[in-house]
Amino acid sequence: MIKLDKENSLAKLNGANIHNYLDKIEARDQGFYKIVDNDVSEILDFAKSVEGKYEDIVVLGIGGSSLGTICLRQSLTHLHESIELHVLDNIDPQYMAQLSDVLDFEKTLFIVISKSGGTPETLSQYFYFREKCDNFVFITGPTGLLRETGEKEGIKMFEVPENVGGRFSVLTVVGLLPAALIGIDIKKLLEGAQEMRDKFLSEDLEENMCYQIAQMQHQHGGEGRNMTVMMPYSQRLIRFADWYRQLLAESIGKSKDVGLTPINALGVTDQHSQSQLYMDGPDDKFFIFIKVENLGPEVLIPGDEVYYLKGVSFNKLMHIEQKGTTDALTHNKKPNITLNVPEVNEHNLGALFMLFEGATAFLGEFYGINAFDQPGVELSKKFTKELLTRPA
């Protein structure tokens, strides 16, 4: 079970209005906390039907269509897998050409993900690779070019739930299908999400970690700490911090006066690249640490030349470095909390996804904004299309 250590948060929590905020979230008719109960048999049946057929899976998607899948791959797979998962979340032509050089297209399955069915980056990738093979699966909405193409050409399609936005979609077919294809247990992933969803819906402040985290972020934001640093002490969770960066930025940055800037960091790496700023720089940050209790088998550090490393494992060193960092921040009166995760597995990762999706939903209501739209992103898309259609 994930536990929250908020001793150093420097925040005062009040759960008197949880019920009212839950009502406001429910009124927005968003499905991110409901879809974890959905039947996944179609996904599992498809994964079973293509088992052993492909050596590479390539996801064509961007933003919410890719970041969750990248996190799933980084967190839950071994560095050497029998099936390679590539997530093409950029249109860099050099990278696409290099990927083409290493793929056996007869043994590669492409998953094309666009809820609108018209995302220009994703469509351009699809047009490029359809010239090379015809092994495609579409994940899209009920209308749009991808839907029309899939129906015309008989391509297997899965549908994105209408009331789940891209950045909240990792626990839908968007993340679950690629995960199932590379052997991740998606049922355990959803079980962890369900467990945290029940806490998200609880009116008990001590049980509702989503509400606690959101309230702390909101309080500190009001005191000028409008940056949230997420720093997992686990290489396997660095892409979780990337996923959260989009979730927070795109959900809460909705006006000139409201917004929290997410910063992703990695322990212990960024103790040597960012901690000087964190310790002695401006008091404008709130820190969320993720500590993984079980980092795997104990690996002892060999040699006895340095007395304080004698008999110490890398596991212990990682934990001590995390404690040293949080203690130093606390000493400098920099607010921080720590999420204690027993180990990185499907159940706990599903719970983490739901924990921060729920916290983000509460944050939107605290700020009085819609956490589920993205007008700034849509404006950028509009200008991009206008520029593409102008005369040379």
pLDDT (tens digit, 9 = 90+) per residue, 284-309?
999 999 999 999 999 999 988 999 99
Of these residues, 86, 187, 188, 381, which one is catalytic? 381
| Active-site residue, 132 included | no
pLDDT value, residue 376: 67
Tell me how far apart the alpha carbons of residues 219 and 13 are, in angstroms, rounded to a whole number.
Answer: 9
Indicate the SS3 state at residue 152: helix
Strand order in the sheet with 285-294: 3-5, 336-343, 285-294, 227-233, 261-264
Across all residues in the chain, what is the average pLDDT?
A: 94
Of these residues, 78, 152, 256, 272, which one is catalytic? 272
Least confident of 124-128, 167-171, 304-308, 340-344: 304-308
- CATH node for 3-28+201-375: 3.40.50.10490
Backbone angles phi, psi at 28, to 5 degrees: -80, -10
Contact 294, 236 (CB under 8 A): no
Buried b (16+ CB within 10 A) or exposed e, 306-323: eeeeeeeeebbebbeebe
Beta pairing class for 3-5 and 108-114? unpaired
Domain boundaries, the chain: 3-28+201-375, 35-187
pLDDT value, residue 387: 63
Tell me how far apart the alpha carbons of residues 245 and 261 are, in angstroms, rounded to a whole number.
Answer: 8
Fold observed for domain 35-187: Rossmann fold (3.40.50)
pLDDT, mean of residues 328-356: 98
Identify the band that residue 326 occupies on the pLDDT scale cut at 50, 70 and 90. Answer: very high
* Cis peptide bond prior to 268, omega within 30° of 0: yes
pTM > 0.85: yes or no: yes
Place of tokens 């980084």: 74
Q: What tens digit of pLDDT does each residue of 233-257 get?
A: 999 999 999 999 999 999 999 877 7
| Active-site residue, 381 included | yes
Fold: same for 3-28+201-375 and 35-187: yes
Indicate the SS3 state at residue 197: helix
Q: What tens digit of pLDDT does each residue of 35-85 get?
A: 999 999 999 999 999 999 999 999 999 998 999 999 999 999 987 777 999
| Active-site residue, 272 included | yes
Contact 75, 344 (CB under 8 A): yes
Q: What tens digit of pLDDT does each residue of 141-190 get?
A: 999 999 999 999 999 999 999 999 999 999 999 999 999 999 999 999 99
Place of tokens 């960012």: 274
Identify the band that residue 29 occupies on the pLDDT scale cut at 50, 70 and 90. Answer: very high
Report the residue count for the chain. 392
pLDDT value, residue 381: 64
Helices (H) and strands (E) in the chain, counts: 14, 10
Place of tokens 């909240």: 168
Identify the band that residue 383 occupies on the pLDDT scale cut at 50, 70 and 90. Answer: low
Give 345's contacts (C-beta < 8 A, 6+ positions apart). 76, 188
Of these residues, 195, 218, 220, 250, which one is catalytic? 250
pLDDT value, residue 385: 66
